[in-house]
Structure 1
Amino acid sequence: MSKPNDAGRALVRLAEAVRAYLDSDMIVAAEIARELRQALTDAERVVRTRSGNY
């Protein structure tokens, strides 16, 4: 079971990834997109785990 702070950490990672993507140039956009996808996956996993739908 996830810890209470896992959802918060996932949201912080997501916000950081979005901010970095918006601030980036095209050279690093692909790497940031991978980070963003991973952050979204992690956030989804945490939410599903906490809601019992995983």
Structure 2
Amino acid sequence: MDKKGEDVGLSFYAFFKNKNDEPELLIEAAHWWIITHQLDHFEKASKIKALVEHE
């Protein structure tokens, strides 16, 4: 079942392939997501979009 719209959940892992071929970038994204913004593992895509647009 496809989920679309503002309620869709998003994880920072969504920005990476299944392979860990860019570990430094993965750590940077994890730090931004977990430490800087104290987000849960899954967040609403609309929330992430708003955060990124205001950076």
Larger Rg: 1
Q: By percentage of residues, which structure has more strand?
A: 2
TM-score by length of 2: 0.33
